[in-house]
Amino acid sequence: MTYLDPPGGHHGRPAVPSAEATAALARCVSVEPAKFAAAHWGHTPLLSRAAELPDPAGFTDLLSPADADELLSRRGLRTPFLRVAKDGQLVAASRWTGGGGAGAEIGDQVLDERVLEQYASGATLVLQGLHRIWPPLVDFARDLGLALNQPLQINAYLTPAGSQGFATHYDTHDVFVLQVDGRKHWRIHPPVLPDPLEKQQWGGRADEVAATAQGPAALDVVLAPGDALYLPRGWLHSAQAQDASSLHLTVGIRALTRYALVEELLALSAEDQRLRASLPFGTDVADPDAIEPELTETVEALRDWLLRADPGAVAARLRQRAWPAARPAPIRPLAQADALATLDADSRVTVRPGLRWQLVPHDSDTVALRLFDRTITLPASCEPAARALLTGTVTRVGDLPGLPDDADRVTLTRRLLREAVLVPA
């Protein structure tokens, strides 16, 4: 979510989601966003049939089978942008990668003839990180990420008729499954570990997962083209293609959890001298009786420190964790350089789509523009003009407020264009 600083305040607040962000979420769920948030988000699965969604034509505009063939054959794809799985196990990359010929000898490139061999023998192909390399999914991921205010990733699964790529398992992130082509049979079971963290992978509970998968399914459904399925993290699932090959997209949403708050609080607690104190000389750390008084004093010190914890410091650490995981829209370096060379007062610019930012005081003479990967310092006199550019209030350079002349307006705009904060309108 883009963050704005309201007049008279310095704390970010979420902007209203754009029409594009709202439309991206509407493609994935058949209920209103408020109902989805209250009844399903993080709690229960939601099946949305194509006829219930705004575009019953489906998702082939995002990635079609022909597009997948293009990626596998003509785009010089390399690991880790492809995985291959068969009978519940990953196939070693050495079996489907190699050098790409003259001028492309590096041996981790996807070889189409070997991919054909794997796929024709029943293996599932997993195209990974498509939100970084396939333009329609780059845009869709940005818009959906803004609607959810969460970092996300998009993979595609191509499964031959009758095959199943992975055994029953759970993910440690929420997912939207968007069925593009073919039909796939999904069996969904309740979690064996509700709300698992990223480090709590299903492999550590394989016996529980297998036992639960033998019981009755909470949802037993075949997805057809245009259908969508939401699964909260932790819900068990398996999927098998039916009488024809299947292509679906999986949008994985990286959850920000209360445990993330705990981790950042503990990191900040290193500021407390009581918590940095050494254990007494000679303490036997294997003896519970010896540890008990130290544990009691540590818990007391931690409790005292937590009551004084600064929400601003915690928010700053969460920002550093979350913002880099959700890149803004790509820029065009050549077009951007041309815009820099021809910039004048009549030029029009806009904020880079999907950019997360905060504009806050730095000292008496400067303001700080915080971005996903760095902080830019600007003269305090530029604050009204910078805010007008970032919020989209003004797009024409010569209309920027608070600066004495067009030369200063052009200088500020050129700086923000060079920093990839703005793009040509």
Tokens of 406: 């067009």
Tokens of 178: 């968007």
Work out the mean pLDDT of the chain and round it to a whole number. Answer: 93
Per-residue pLDDT at 57: 85
pLDDT at 7 over 70: no
pLDDT at 410 over 70: yes
Per-residue pLDDT at 36: 97
- pLDDT tens for 316-367 read 999 999 999 988 999 999 999 999 999 999 999 999 999 999 999 999 999 9
pLDDT at 165 over 90: no
Per-residue pLDDT at 3: 35
Helix/strand/coil (H/E/C) assignment for every residue in the chain:
CCEECCCCCCCCEECCCCHHHHHHHHCCCCCCHHHHHHHCCCCCCEEECHHHCCCCCCCCCCCCHHHHHHHHHHCCCECCCEEEEECCEECCHHHCEECCCCCCCCCCEECHHHHHHHHHCCCEEEECCHHHHCHHHHHHHHHHHHHHCCCEEEEEEEECCCCCCCCCECCCCEEEEEEEECCEEEEEECCCCCCCCCCCCHHHHHHHHHHHHCCCCCEEEEECCCCEEEECCCCEEEEEECCCCEEEEEEEECCCCHHHHHHHHHHHHHHCHHHHCCCCCCCCCCCHHHHHHHHHHHHHHHHHHHHCCCHHHHHHHHHHHHHHHCCCCCCCHHHHHHHHHHCCCCCEEEECCCCCCEEEECCCCEEEEECCCCEEEEEHHHHHHHHHHHHCCCCEHHHCCCCCCHHHHHHHHHHHHHCCCEEEC
Instruction: Tell me the domains of the chain and their CATH numbers.
Output: 19-253 (2.60.120.650), 258-319 (no CATH), 333-424 (3.90.930.40)
- Is residue 66 exposed (0-12), middle (13-18) or buried (19+ Cβ within 10 Å)? exposed
pLDDT band at 128 (very low <50, low <70, confident <90, very high): very high
pLDDT at 9 over 50: no
Residue whose structure tokens are 């599932």: 124
Per-residue pLDDT at 166: 85
Per-residue pLDDT at 13: 37
- pLDDT tens for 210-221 read 999 999 999 999
Contact predicate 224/179, CB 8 Å:
yes
Per-residue pLDDT at 16: 56
CB 389: neighbour CB atoms within 10 A? 24
Query: What is the pTM (predicted TM-score) of this model?
Result: 0.91
